[in-house]
Amino acid sequence: MISGTREIVEKLLWNHPHLRDDDNKLLATVYWHRASVLDFDGIELEVIKRFLQVLADGDLPNFESIGRCRRKLQEESEFLRGELYGERHKNQERVKEDLRLW
């Protein structure tokens, strides 16, 4: 999944310099490319396009900010941790090594 995403992102950054400084626009563009090949069971592509435009315009919280906030809250409060929290942390060293080698 990472390598496929890397190829898409690299292509977009080469071909669309305005995406280099705006993660919301980059995220929306990547999602649009994926959405255009998926079947959404009757959801109009125009609805998806409008949603992604709102994301690109910065009117929704940044994806990374939401994840970062969740991680911090779960670090601070055991009550907020999901069932997979422990499993993810057991694999932490392997994941770090995978990322280092990537």
Examine the pLDDT at 59 and tell me if it is beyond 80. yes
Q: Cβ of 22: how many Cβ atoms within 10 Å?
A: 13
Q: How confident is the model at residue 3 (pLDDT cuts 50, 70, 90)?
A: low
What does pTM read for this prediction?
A: 0.65
Buried/exposed code over 56-87 (b: 16+ C-beta within 10 A; e: otherwise): beeeeeeeeeeeeeeeeeeeeeeeeeeeeeee
Q: How confident is the model at residue 17 (pLDDT cuts 50, 70, 90)?
A: very high
Instruction: Quote the crossing angle between the two packed helices 23-35 and 45-56, to the nearest 10°.
Output: 170
Q: How confident is the model at residue 85 (pLDDT cuts 50, 70, 90)?
A: confident
Kindly state the average pLDDT of the residues 20-31: 91
